[in-house]
């Protein structure tokens, strides 16, 4: 399964990639982007099945990226991974049709590969 990790924190991207690479059940092909504009370019060229998307990023934030992905590539599943616990951020993400919304602090007790497989 092709997965694009979009986050402006390179260490967070590395950690998510390591967690997914270590999964025994699913095989992931991973790519990374550090901002929303780079993410859109990679989605167009790599056609990922799933985008793991941070909301707070430079150049083009995750809300805008999620909206554009759902408009241009409705088959791509979007999972928001954010440090925000804002109800407004969750509402905005759900309005554009994201497939799942996870707070980064929940990742320690969440099996991310299972969430990806379920969307």
Section 86-114 average pLDDT: 90
d(CA 35, CA 47): 17
pLDDT band at 80 (very low <50, low <70, confident <90, very high): very high
21-35 burial code (b ≥16 CB/10 A, e <16): eeeeeeebebbbbbb
Residue 96 phi/psi, 5-degree rounding, is: -85, -5
Q: What is the pLDDT of residues 11-62, one digit of tens each?
A: 999 999 998 988 877 889 999 999 999 999 999 999 999 999 999 998 899 9
């Amino acid at each position: 399964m092709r997965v694009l990790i979009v986050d402006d924190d390179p260490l967070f991207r590395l950690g998510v990639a390591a967690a997914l690479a270590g999964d025994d059940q699913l095989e992931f092909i991973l790519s990374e982007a550090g901002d929303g504009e780079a993410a859109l370019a990679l989605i167009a060229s790599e056609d990922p099945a799933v985008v793991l998307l941070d909301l707070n990023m430079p150049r083009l934030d995750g809300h805008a990226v999620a909206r554009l992905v759902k408009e241009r590539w409705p088959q791509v599943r979007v999972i928001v991974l954010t440090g925000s616990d804002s109800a407004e951020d969750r509402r905005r993400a759900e309005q554009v049709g994201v497939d799942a919304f996870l707070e980064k602090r929940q990742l320690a007790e969440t099996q991310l590969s299972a969430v990806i497989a379920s969307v």
